[in-house]
Structure 1
Amino acid sequence: MWEHHADRFPEATAQVQGDRVFTWSQFDRRADGIAATLLAAGAHHQDKVAQYMYNCPEYLESMFGMYKAGLVPVNTNYRYTDDELKYLWNNADAVAVVFHGSFAPRCATLREQLPAIRTWIWVDDGSEPCPEWAVAYETAAASATSRTVAPWGRSPDDLYMLYTGGTTGMPKGVMWRQDDVIGSLDAASKQPLPPVPGWAQLEQRIVKPGPRNLPAAPLMHGTGAFNAMWNLSLAGSVVTLQGRHFDPIELLDTIALQRVNSMSIVGDAFAKPLLRALDAEPNRWDISSLRVIVSSGVMWSAASKAGLLRHNARLILIDSLGSSEAIGMANNTTSADGAGETAKFTLTPHTKVLTDDGREVVPGSGERGRVALRGRTPVGYYKDPEKSASTFITFDGVRWSIPGDFAEVEADGTVKLLGRGSQCINTGGEKVYPEEVEEALKHHPTVADAAVVGLPDERFGEAITALVEPHDGAVINEAELIAHVKIHLAAYKAPKRVLTIDTIGRAANGKLDYKRLKAEAVAQLGGPADAG
């Protein structure tokens, strides 16, 4: 599809970062160069290639090259330590790494420990010089004069591999067929792609260059990558920020300058700083071009959505319930015409809430189950049949992807999301999901962010313990916050203790490292070191 768009719209913009602009023709030919370089280095069909970069044009360009060559992109968290990188690349059986220059020292340290990686492609970011053992990205990108096609051609069964975060265990590679990725992303389209592939049908669906998308979320995570890939599939363009840390000012400047139409964020972790900037200077930015904001992965509060709509009433805010293992399970859409409640979602046609024995949860019953998606789902986890069997489950001949999101089904058929079972706290026989307590805490004016963990407790089994990051200048009052939660939730869900922390320390994808936060709570309370 991307090659076809390049042939039809060669001079249309494909990627932008700062003053760097690449047309579809350049995007296509440079990706040919990356494909040719990897093939010349001995890569074979469906070999794995790690992408170890911040957001940049080279990220999607090298991904395009891998698809051309029938290779498998492997996302790499740029926050990982040496041991984590070694585990990931060994587990993925990576044969090549595309890396930013600033990571050259770390790659140099790991090279001898990872002999299976034969090719290292260095992306210049103005930091470290190109090592003698690496190929300069620009040299590789310029190496093709025609379209690169591998001897084995292309197949809809070729894989895209997305490694999940390792906060509840070691990262695992989720294997998606490329055809299923595209089909899943297209499922919510008002004008879906033709069910039978064909260039004539595609041209009827896409008659001109598409919208301009900005992945504010990292491309190394599914939220950013899926939205960017889908926008390119619509013959659109992708704008990446130059900064390497989330900066709402840079983001708003870029939206206004580049006339961005859609962007992906990570819930309140991004929405709240954006809203504070807009509220502080409401007339500074023209964001009228922005029509759609998509979020997935963490809580996005109704209050934040309402605040963003005050600054652009034409926005459509889509809170998508999905994961690395299941795209588009449910959504919560907010616009000026109607608002959705926090953590309340409408199921998509292929999604149900199932009990452990495969029964569908009856709306309004109060019964809890796990959100399950059928249809276009991953092949499984790479080299992990046991985990695959526990996540991709067959009931009555139907295969379901069940990542572990617990929910209740309201009488009207909407779904109230409770959180991941892996973080569920059992206190006095009651199950409490951290996300709902965290959301209640974050509604208090002194709280900037919050995390909730369960600590061992002789009486209750686990005691709900909150760690809160105060707003600048605010003072946390423990008793006041406990009382505040009890106003919004059942009393047994209120924390027994509230601890202050300088920063919750969310990852780049907005998620929490509960293991680390639990250890911090234990340390503050003077408990045993092995309590987590």
Structure 2
Amino acid sequence: MYPPSIARDRPDALAYVMAASGASLTYRELDRRSNRLAHFWRANGVQPGDAVVIAMENNLAWPVVVAAGMRSGLYVTPVNWHLNAAELAILMTEARPAVVVTSTALAPTVVGAADALILCVGESSEGCVSFEEALATMPTTPISGELLGARVLYSGGTTGRPKRFAQKLLGVHPADAPRRHSELSERLGIGPDTVLLSPAPNYHAAPFTFGLIVLAAGGTIVCMEKFDAAAAMAAIVDHGVTHSQWVPTMLVRLLRMRGRESVALSPTHRVAFTSGAPCPVSVKTDIAEWWGPILHEYYGASEGYGHTYIAPDEARAHPGSVGKPLGSTRIRVVDEDGRDVAAGVEGTVCFEAGGSLKQMGDIGYVDADGFLYLVGRRGFMIISGGVNIYPEEVEEALLSHPAVADVGVIGIPDAEFGESVRAVVELRPGVEADSASVIAHAREHLAHYKAPRSVVFTTDLPRLPTGKLDKRGLVNRFGQPTGNGEK
């Protein structure tokens, strides 16, 4: 991502647009503003190899900060802005930033958590330097000795404490940056004419990574301030979106809009892709019936160990698969002793690249054609009567119930079986169902031992800002043998 490479030929091309407000940056503006910010950092002692932490909501300053960091040789480190001061302080201690960029709303939390130069986007806040004032007097030309920065991500580990993953600083000029995920980008058709709708928080791995990819290609990012299904459908039409990026939960919520007269489809929308969790077959089928065969899926770790990809036509032929590995990466499925298992046999999913084997923490299998299928996460597997039950399989079955809008499945303590299966269900608006019908539906689609033994109804399943189901939050709220709303 090096704005001058685009600004030279297409200075007025839109680089970034906020979906709701329409506020935007051209590539010329992105180039100049990121230069100003890089100069301010340099003037205040920020050097290559230092870290810049981004702790703020989706806004128009995001691409400026990322571009400035990527042309200053910094570790560009977005963090979850929903964290409290104590949680944020832990990340700050590990990241050791020289500079933090935040917003007016979050500045008090950040000031209490970080010992660094803090810039505030929006109204000035105590302990911070105004972002706009910092840029105002700085040159619009590049700093001397520009160097390519590196992406840093925090991903949730099985312990619940985020893990830091930093790419290497390559010591090259940003104009010489290697292409990111080149094969995946080619499969998705990302280029200068791409207009990507990004509906998730920018600190999450996929929006951050694809922001870099699309801007490096000279395309346009249409960034939602926050996800809303109706607003997302409107943004696709209003901004001429060609590509869109989702997690499966978003697709479930979008499908609730299907059939409404106020929801129009756009002829420009030719590619949609999903990641973050396996997309249920029923969701893919329904999206294809509504949007046409445009939904692609990829799977991989935030740490960048490797990726798999499946195209819409492959998904029809291999329902439930997350695809084949891209590039030189190999997929291996191993048993508890680290030995490869046969096709069709479940085990721990690993990526192998360059002689290094990385476990993903997922349980899955590879079919005879080399397509990977995920069964569930090892950390949330339910063991009932000595039998392994994967929540994702039960969730997918329950999502096909006509009254179920959303569902999370967990294990709860059981004196007889060790654990039993509980479904936490959100019903569709205006539709009624009882626990008996939910359990019966599960038994129609699954072996009886996998069906929930109890059902809790709620109106607010806990979700992470990325849209993923918050399994730890679900267990904390609904993981006891009795609870509010159980039927």
The answer for unaligned runs of 5 or more in structure 1 is: 193-204, 376-397, 528-532
TM-score, L = length of structure 1: 0.82
Distance 2:376 2:422 in 1: 16
The equivalent of 1:294 in structure 2 is: 273
Alpha-carbon contact 1:345-1:417 (below 8 Å) kept: no
Alpha-carbon distance, 1:324 to partner: 0.8
Partner in structure 2 of residue 169 of structure 1: 160
- Once the 2 structures are TM-superposed, how far is the Cα of residue 473 of structure 1 from its aligned partner? 2.8
Give the drift of 1:471. Answer: 1.8
Per-residue CA deviation, residues 272-292 of structure 1 (Å, 9 max, x unaligned), is 22222242127x424111111
Structure 2 alignment gaps of length 5 or more:
171-175
| Cα distance between partner residues in 2 of 1:178 and 1:333 | 33
Q: How does 1:19-30 map to 2 (within 5 A)?
A: 19-30=22-33
Alpha carbons of structure 1 residues 404 and 250: separation in structure 2 relative to 1, 3 Å: same
- Among 265, 269, 283, the alignment partner of 1:304 is 283
Name the CA distance, whole Å, in 1 between partners of 2:305 and 2:218: 21
Q: Give 2:250's aligned residue.
A: 270
1:145 aligns with 2:143: no
Structure 1 residue aligned with 2:393: 436
Matches within 5 A, 1:374-393: 374-375=353-354
Counterpart-to-counterpart distance in 2, 1:190 and 1:299: 22
Determine helix, strand or coil for the equivalent of 1:273.
helix
- The yes-or-no answer on 1:252 pairing with 2:233 is yes
Q: In the alignment, residue 209 of structure 1 is paired with which amino acid?
A: P
Distance of 1:479 and 1:321 partners within structure 2: 35
SS in 2 for 1:63: helix
- In structure 2, relative to structure 1, the CA distance for the partners of 1:306 and 1:182 (3 Å cut) is farther
Q: Where do 4+ consecutive residues of structure 1 move more than 6 Å?
A: 178-181
2:342, 2:136 → 1: CA distance? 58
Q: Identity of counterpart residues, as a percentage?
A: 29
Distance across 2 between alignment mates of 1:321 and 1:277:
26
Deviation at 1:402, TM superposition (A): 2.2
2:92 partner SS: helix
**Residue pair 2:295, 2:312 contacting (<8 A) in 1 also:** yes
- What is the CA deviation profile of residues 470-512 of structure 1, one whole-angstrom value per residue up to 9, with x for unaligned ones? 2223334222222222222222222222122221121121222
**C-alpha distance in 1, partners of 2:164/2:144?**
24
C-alpha separation between the residues in 2 aligned to 1:518 and 1:442? 19
* C-alpha deviation, 1:300, in angstroms: 2.2
**1:103 shift after superposition:** 1.4
1:69/1:148 contact within 8 Å kept: no
2:184 touches 2:309 (CA, 8 Å); kept in 1?
A: no
In 1, distance between residues paired with 2:371 and 2:49? Answer: 40
Distance 1:222 1:345, change over 3 A: same
Q: Residue 280 of structure 1 corresponds to which residue in structure 2?
A: 260
Out of 296, 300, 304, the position equivalent to 1:318 is 296
User: Does residue 58 in structure 1 map to residue 58 in structure 2?
Assistant: no
Give the partner amino acid of 2:295: L
Over residues 500-528 of structure 1, what are the superposed CA-to-partner deviations in whole Å (9 max), with x where a residue is unaligned? 2221121121222222221222456169x
Paired position in structure 2 for 1:387: none
> What secondary structure, in the 3-state scheme, does the structure 2 residue paired with 1:188 have?
helix
Question: Residues 16 and 57 of structure 1 are in contact (CA less than 8 Å); yes or no, is this contact kept in structure 2?
Answer: yes
Change in Cα spacing, 1:508 to 1:87, as seen in structure 2 (3 Å) is same
CA distance in 2, matches of 1:142, 1:340: 55
Task: State the shift of 1:182 in Å.
Answer: 5.5
**1:309–1:335 CA contact under 8 A, matched in 2:** no
- In 2, Cα distance between equivalents of 1:502 and 1:254: 27
Q: CA deviation at 1:308?
A: 3.0
CA deviation map 1:442-471 (0-9, x unaligned): 111121111111222232222222211222
Q: Is the 8 A contact 1:50 1:98 kept in 2?
A: yes
Instruction: Name which of 230, 236, 239 aligns with 2:222.
Output: 239
Tell me how many residue pairs correspond in the alignment: 474
**Segment drifting more, 339-348 vs 448-457:** 339-348
Instruction: Return the TM-score normalized by structure 2.
Output: 0.89
Is 1:516 matched with 2:469? no
Can you list the C-alpha shifts for 1:152-182, whole angstroms capped at 9, x where unaligned? x425xx4210011367421111112377995
- CA distance in structure 1 between the partners assigned to 2:126 and 2:459 by the alignment: 42
Question: Which residue matches 1:160?
Answer: 151
Q: CA deviation at 1:322?
A: 1.6
Secondary structure in 2 matching 1:525: coil
Contact 1:256 1:286 in 2 (8 A): yes
Taking the aligned partners of 2:444 and 2:179, their CA distance within structure 1 comes to: 44
Pairwise CA distance, 1:141? 3.5
Structure 2 CA distance, aligned partners of 1:342 and 1:191? 19
Shift in CA distance, 260/336, structure 1 to aligned 2, threshold 3 Å: farther
- How far the C-alpha of 1:367 sits from its partner, in A, is 3.6
> Is residue 49–residue 169 contact of structure 2 (8 Å, CA) maintained in 1?
no
Shift of 1:44: 2.5
Match of 2:127 in 1: 133
Q: Mean Cα displacement is larger for which, 434-443 or 319-328?
A: 319-328
Q: CA deviation at 1:32?
A: 0.9
Cα distance, 1:120–1:407 mapped onto 2, change above 3 Å: same
Secondary structure of the residue aligned to 1:254 is helix
SS at 2:420 equivalent: strand
2: CA distance, partners of 1:76 / 1:418: 29
1:185 aligns with 2:176: no
**What's the C-alpha RMSD, in Å, of the aligned pairs?**
2.8
Shift of 1:337: 10
Alpha-carbon contact 1:476-1:500 (below 8 Å) kept:
no
Amino acid at match of 1:438: E
* CA displacement 1:385-436 (0-9 Å, x = unmatched): xxxxxxxxxxxxx113322121112233222211221111222222222111
How far apart in 2 are the matches of 1:59 and 1:70? Answer: 17
